[in-house]
Structure 1
Amino acid sequence: MEDDECWVQLEEYRLLLTKTIEPSQITPYLRQCKVLSCDDEEQIFNDPNLVVRRRKVGALLDILQRTGHKGYVAFLESLELDYPRLYHKITGKEPARVFSILVDTVGESGLTQFLMNEVTRLQKGLQEERRRRQEAAAAAATQEDTVRQHQVRERELRKQQERVHRMREEKDRLWEEVRHLKDENYSLMHDVTKLSEEKNSALMSNRDLQLEIEKLKHCLMNAESDSKIRTVKLKNAMEQRPSQDRMLQLQRHNHLLAARIQELEASAQGTAPAPLDQERLSSESLEDYKQHSQAQHQELVNNIYTLRKDLHDAEALRDRYLEANEVLDLKCTTLKKDAKMYRDRMEGILKQMDEVIRERDKAIASREEYHQENCRGLQEKDQYRKQIRELGERCDELQVQLFRTEGEVIALQTRLHRHTCSQHDKSQTSEEDCKDKLTKASSVELQSPTSGEYDVCIASQDHQLCAGEPREENISAERAPSVDEVLGCSKPRLRCNIYYRRKRVLRSKPTWKEHTPCHLDNSSGSDNTDTDGM
């Protein structure tokens, strides 16, 4: 997907590319980058259909497009080497590789001079970079000192914060303990209040029971008085009732009168009729006697009925009084039992209250002892806390002194490090002056026209001369390698290979070329993709 986007962007400049590019000028580099094969090159230059240069460029672009991103990069590098203006117009970047133009325009001597100028410029840049690095190292050392001092102060502040945190925790713990003691005190007061309420309720219950007992006693006395009154009334009624002998006598008299009446009736029926006057007299007398006897009989019958009625009423009243007396006896017995039960219960409640009072006294005494022990424990704990606080403050002071001592040690180490760095800077400055002299001498000798191999030899000789100089042992490991060291050891052989490869590319090009003006200001001293290691 990225390959297609790259070639789509390049497709906008296809007309400009086909108009400007000479295929024979860029094919050697493309073949060297292995994005163009011999068969492809044969097809481009010997195909009868590709006679016009623009068609050849179009076919070359089509072949490179099939290689993807690699062909795109190689094509841009070839434009950077041979068509810098076109490269700048397409990519918007300044070309960084102009060695082929230098070789074409000013020759190998100009290339050598250009390389020496670039080396000199790089050495100056390296010296400036070293100076900036030394300044940055000094600033970093100062910052490190400041950071260490801040770290010491931070440790002190952290220690003080820890101390404040401990004091806050202790305050919170003491506050929690005070709150716990307050809750315990409130609970004890609640228990005392509850016990006093229970005591008051027990006293009220005792008073209510005493009142109930008094009421029951009063009811019992009333019942006894009522029973006595009813008993007396029943006795009086029984005394006023006629006796059994009187009742028998009246019944006997009644029977005699009835027998007399029957005899008189029988005698009256058995005798002969007397004269009318006598009969009338006797009948009147009999009638009077009969009425008189009937009246007496009726009176006796009424008396008997009345007496029987009174007897029946007296018996009913006696039964009712007996039942009421039995009920009252039962109530009296029940009340006596209830009174005895309440009396026993009150005695038990009083005993329990006495036991509760004794237990309360014991609990109060034990609570007082507990409070005394707690007070002694709190006093001892306060003493221990005071000792611990004093020891903690002493420890904090010792740690603060330790931190300050560490800060002083760090400051002394920093001063020693600065002194060592100043000596190192002096030795390094003397070494750089020697190298500058050698570089100037070599640049003077290189003013004559020489080949690339001679440049390599001069660079290797400079490297050997610089390597032979004495080095001080106190140079730090972070020191960057100099330009002479970069040009030493492995680089001469690589540079020879690069120059040989460049000559081979130039020989493979045709005699006629499209000359383009070179811009030496845009060069950075780097070669093609094979020379990026330099």
Structure 2
Amino acid sequence: MAALRRTESTLTVLDEDSLWELLENHRHRIVRSICPSRLTPYLRQAKVLDQLDEEEVLHSPRFTNTVMRVGHLLDLLKTRGKNGAIAFLESLKFHNPDIYTQVTGLQPKVDFDNFSGLMETSKLTECLAGAISSLQEELSQEKGQKEALVRRCQQLQERLGQAEARAQSLGQMEADHDRMKREVSAHFHEVLKLKDEMLNLSLRYSNALQERELATTRCRSLQEELYLMKQEMQRHKMSSSCERELRERSLQMTGVLEPGDKELSRLKEENEKLRSLTFSLAEKDILEQNLDEALESKQELVDRIHSLRERAVAAERQRKQYWEEKEQTLLQFQRTKVDCDLYKEKVNALQSQLLQLQKERDQAYSARDAAQMEISQKLTEKDALRRKVFELTDQVCELRQQLRRPKAESLQGPKQEAGTREPCPKGKQPLVRMFALCPRDDSNSSCPGPPESQLCSDLTATSNRELVDSFRSSSPVPPSPQSLYKRATEDFREDPWSLGGFPEILQVDRGPSPGAKAGDADLDYEIVDRADVPECESSLQPCTGGLTLSSSSVPVRRRLARKILSQVTVLAFQGDALLEQISIIGGNLTGIFIHRVTPGSAADEMALRPGTQIMMVDYEATEPLFKATLEDTTLEQAVGLLQRVNGFCCLSVKVNMEGYKKLVQDLEAQVATSGDSFYIRVNLAMEARAEGELRVRCSDVLHISDTMFQGRSCWHAHRLGPYSTKGIEHGTIPNYAR
């Protein structure tokens, strides 16, 4: 620093070593106080760094902090020589003027006249503008961060307020909890006191009972003594009365028998002695007997007292047990009451949700009914419009015939006398509706035909009858294949000649009428080549009885069109207990067919008949909409799927009478028991537990020919030989679910 003066020109005068020595002396301060992302744009403009160097400095994983990045930046600039040092000092002048002053001792003044010249003025301006924009962006980012921090601080303050309010509520709840605990403890002490009082009362009661028992025993003993005293008194009274009588008699006898006084007195004394002896022995026996009875009663009373004491102790123990059980029952009652309240709340919530779901279901049902009603109305309107279109078409045809009739009469003449017919000029290819029932061979098309008048009348009658029959039903539901077949049979019975003579011609379009254009979407037409249809002059005039049609004039047709009855049709109806409405047969090999239909059921009303193959079932369930394909399913799987149908369902069906008849013939001839056929490999061994069951071993290959054998949930299997596909043994095995 001493070698440098206060002029900026001295930096450019210094050589490379002096400049880098100056920077290395302040390297520690530079790497700690500089952000490399601010300096790299200027250094790239000065062409001392390229893009790779900038990415290495800013984003290399080797440098984990800013100090290492700035150090690596200085190392890269040192390889650039003097230009690197000057560019680095100039970048410090713009972005870190304090560091620039500390390193060089110069003031950070920008003088374009004395600039280093490493970059042009325009580029320097761009660099400064970029630096200013980056600083402005950083300032805006800092402002945004400040606003975010302010918002965060406000949120934290709000959360702090909520936490304080929650803490206050928790403190209040804790105080309530402490108060309730104190109340519970006080009540508990009161309960203990009451228990002690009850114990004292029970003890006093037991003592009183014992005293009462003692008093009763004492009373009984006193009563016995009183009874004995009464007996003694009675004996004394009797003895005294006897003595008085004896004395009286003795006094009476003294006067009579004086000489026998002595002997009498002696006898009396002996008698008295004997009496005293006899009385004392009897009394002794009585007293002994009373004593024995008293001892026995005393022993009984003692035993009774002991038993009563034991019963009292057991009663006290039982009372304590009952008291504890009562407290436990009260606690359980309180808990059960709380649980009951919770369950009531849950049930109320579930009932409210159920009511909402019922309302939504009713709304959905009403919307569905309204949509179905609207669809049916649209279909009826469409049918009415079609009728009107065909009526107008008939009127237009009649008007055209009336217009063409004068022209045809003017053209008739020598041609009518000669009986020859010239071919009409070839016009537009006519659209011919082909007969869709009982197609015949091409050989029938060459048979001779009736007169042209009869042909025209037949065509008119057939077309009119078809127009009526096609709109015979006003129901929005499409007609079933059986209904179409019935209509065609009735047409054949009404006019078999017209269908037998010309089976391929049903309706000819005599002109592009609006009715024909409107009906093209609903009718099946075939375009016949112009070379195959010779047009006659009579096509421009009405048919008369005088004209005849030779066999050579009949156009040669292609094979007759065949109506495809095997197209898949979707039928929607109420499918509650679907397997009670229909019964099915078949399997994965033949398909699932309807075998029987319950008369009067919803399936019968939808014209489902035996021979209809079920392709798909689609029905509403508690889960999302369920859809299953029955084309390749076994009979067991089909029964399981159709058993799940409960409610409104859609069946995708098609008529497959050939497959159904073949399956029924095989079942009647006992060639097969069902339409199932697949192979399995057994992965466990099973013994034959009942008659008819098949004993299988592990790794046996079985051919399953029936998954609902005799209506049960078991499979009918054939064991295959190791070198052939023929069944060696056959029997039943449990199904996959069992």
> TM exceeds 0.5?
no
| Higher-strand-fraction structure | 2
Q: Give the number of the structure with larger relative contact order, counting CA–CA contacts within 8 Å between residues 6 or more apart.
A: 1
CA radius of gyration, larger in: 1
Q: Give the TM-score, by structure 1 length.
A: 0.31
| Higher-helix-fraction structure | 1
